[in-house]
């Protein structure tokens, strides 16, 4: 017997409690067990108004149609991490199988969202380092290279840790498949990681003694680091943007439909976080390019996020509600604050550092917001059924209804 399931009858007991809690006009103590989060509690009247199966749609009385009181909560039964859902717009009419999700929610945990950030940070800071290296800004170069190594190392840890079988991580290197963004990403990381590592190690050249064998290394390291830094910067844009395809190439509705924007958001977020490192580490005199990178990155990030939050209709909803909505709003505020600080406080080291930190925090918030928005869209069957149903209806209206798809039985 699986240890991950509650004992016999536990689910049934909760189901009964929920029904009792949704009953109109009662204050059952069982209601409190479910309305734990503030968001749900504030929505309790709305939930009861359309809650009971006899509420608005009498046809729904005996069928698992829309209006089933446990419909909205089915998602929580699986994950328990869905957070408080808010009900602001009227529910779209749709049918589902007892409110159960159709798709399997991504099994990726928070560490993949964290990887989205660290991967982007590694890419952005290695670009910054290469720029500093080519234009003679040693502070930018050093900060960028060291951050890139740290971030790519953290990325590897996050990625391996999230595997169901971490010991088999090297199975990723069996194949190279352009149809699998994860396989492409594996190879991009395989090229980027060592290059970023060598570039960062080359920064240690100054600490080596001048004579002897290590002296030789001291002289050889800078050009090697130079080449490695350029190689890392060459693969960095791919590292920063493939993650957009990684998320979009899934059946998760809000990720898939956002495929034109996700790479843009992630590219912008990577640039902004790389610029944040530059602003944190470099003196104001050297940080000019970082400020301009911050502006460009923030522009891409804000544009993409705005599109995702408004263009997708129903599928934009998960990005505006609940925790993903809060994260994305926080990301927007922090990005704006970071850019403003970078532009206005160009003479102050302290203001520069603060705006750099704000840009980094914004990148974290945006990545987690996009990640959890998609997860929320997979957990609720509405986001799967409604757009697909609209597609079917549009096609049916266009081609006239075929006889074998006659009207469904009168229910």
Partner 1 sequence: MIPDPNSLYGPLDPAPDAGWSSAPPRMGFFTDTSVCIGCKACEVACKEWNNVPGSGLDLLGMSYDNTGALTANSWRHVAFIEQPLPAGHRSPPFTGTPTGEPVSAASAAVAAGTGNRTGTDPGLPTGAPSAAARMATSGPADVLGDPIDAGQRPRHGQGSGDAGAGPQFLGMPGAQPPGRGTGAEGRADFRWLMMSDVCKHCTHAACLDVCPTGSLFRTEFGTVVVQEDICNGCGYCISACPYGVIDQRKDDGRAWKCTLCYDRLGAGQTPACAQACPTESIQYGELDELRERAAARVATLHERGVPEARLYGHDPNDGVGGDGAFFLLLDEPEVYGLPPDPVVTTRDLPKMWKRAGLAALAMAAATVAAFVGGSS
Of the residues 44, 108, 306, 336, which one makes contact with partner 1 according to CB under 8 A: 108
Task: Pick between residue 254 and residue 316 the one whose CB is nearest to partner 1.
Answer: 254
Measure the CA–CA gap between 323 and 110, rounded to whole angstroms: 13
* Nearer Cβ to partner 1 (297/338): 297
Please, are residues 41 and 35 in contact by the beta-carbon 8 Å criterion?
yes
By CB under 8 A, what part of segment 370-409 binds partner 1? 378, 381, 384-385, 388-389, 391-392, 403-409
Q: Where are the alpha helices (DSSP H) in 249-348?
A: 253-256, 262-281, 288-311, 317-320, 322-344
Binds partner 1 (CB under 8 A): choice among 33, 42, 54, 190: 54
The answer to whether residue 244 forms part of the interface with partner 1 (CB under 8 A) is yes
Q: What is the dihedral of CA 32, 369, 89, 376, to 10 degrees?
A: -60
3-state secondary structure of 94: coil
Stretch that binds partner 1, among 192-200, 214-222, 224-232, 264-272 (CB under 8 A): 264-272
Query: Smallest distance from the beta carbon of 94 to partner 1, in angstroms?
Result: 7
Near partner 1 in 78-107, by CB under 8 A: 94-98, 100-104, 106-107
Q: Return the range that interacts with partner 1 (CB under 8 A); candidates 50-58, 79-87, 208-216, 360-368.
A: 50-58
Q: How far apart are the first and last CA of the chain?
A: 39
SS3 11: helix
Nearest in space to 273 (alpha carbons), one of 355, 173, 170, 382: 355
Residue 145's φ and ψ, nearest 5 degrees, are -65, -45
* Cβ–Cβ under 8 Å, residues 279 and 359: yes
Tell me which residues in 289-328 interact with partner 1 (CB under 8 A).
289-293, 296-297, 300
Q: Does 36 bind partner 1 (CB under 8 A)?
A: no
Give the contact letters, 144-183, x = binds to partner 1 (CB under 8 A), - = no: ------------------xxxxx-xx-xx-xx-xxxxxxx
Q: Residues touching partner 1: how many (CB under 8 A)?
A: 119
In terms of CB distance, is 119 or 181 closer to partner 1? Answer: 181
126, 199 Cβ separation under 8 angstroms: yes
């Amino acid at each position: 017997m699986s240890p991950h399931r509650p004992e016999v009858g536990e689910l049934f007991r909760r189901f009964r409690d929920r029904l009792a809690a949704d009953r109109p006009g009662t204050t059952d103590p069982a209601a409190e067990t479910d309305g734990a989060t503030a968001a749900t509690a504030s929505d309790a009247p709305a939930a009861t108004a359309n809650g009971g199966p006899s509420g608005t749609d009498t046809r729904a009385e005996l069928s698992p149609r829309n209006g089933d009181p446990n419909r909205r909560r089915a998602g929580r039964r699986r994950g328990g991490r869905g957070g408080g859902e808010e009900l602001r717009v009227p529910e779209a009419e749709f049918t589902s199988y007892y409110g159960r999700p159709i798709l399997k929610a991504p099994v990726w945990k928070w560490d993949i969202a964290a990887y989205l950030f660290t991967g982007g940070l590694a890419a952005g800071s290695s670009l910054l380092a290469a720029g500093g290296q080519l234009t003679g800004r040693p502070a930018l170069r050093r900060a960028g290279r060291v951050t890139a190594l740290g971030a790519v190392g953290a990325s590897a840890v996050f990625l391996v840790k999230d595997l169901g079988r971490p010991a088999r991580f090297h199975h990723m290197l069996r194949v190279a498949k352009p149809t699998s963004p994860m396989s492409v990403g594996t190879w991009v990381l395989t090229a980027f990681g060592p290059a970023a590592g060598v570039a960062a190690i080359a920064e240690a050249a100054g600490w080596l003694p001048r004579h002897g064998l290590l002296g030789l290394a001291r002289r050889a390291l800078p050009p090697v680091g130079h080449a490695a830094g350029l190689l890392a910067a060459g693969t960095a844009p791919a590292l920063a943007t493939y993650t957009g395809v990684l998320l979009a190439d899934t059946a998760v509705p809000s990720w898939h439909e956002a495929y034109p924007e996700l790479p843009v958001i992630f590219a912008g977020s990577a640039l902004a976080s790389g610029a944040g490192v530059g602003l944190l580490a470099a003196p104001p005199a050297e940080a000019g390019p970082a400020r301009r990178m911050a502006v460009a990155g923030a522009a891409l990030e804000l544009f993409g996020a705005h599109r995702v939050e408004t263009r997708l209709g129903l599928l934009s909803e998960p990005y505006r509600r609940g925790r993903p909505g809060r994260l994305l709003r926080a990301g927007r505020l922090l990005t704006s604050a970071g850019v403003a600080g970078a532009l206005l406080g160009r003479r102050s080291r302290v203001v520069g550092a603060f705006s750099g930190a704000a840009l980094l925090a914004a990148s974290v918030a945006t990545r987690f917001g996009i990640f959890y928005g998609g997860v929320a869209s997979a957990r609720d069957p509405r986001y799967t059924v409604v757009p697909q149903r609209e597609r079917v209806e549009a096609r049916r209206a266009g081609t006239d209804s075929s006889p074998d798809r006659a009207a469904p039985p009168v229910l």
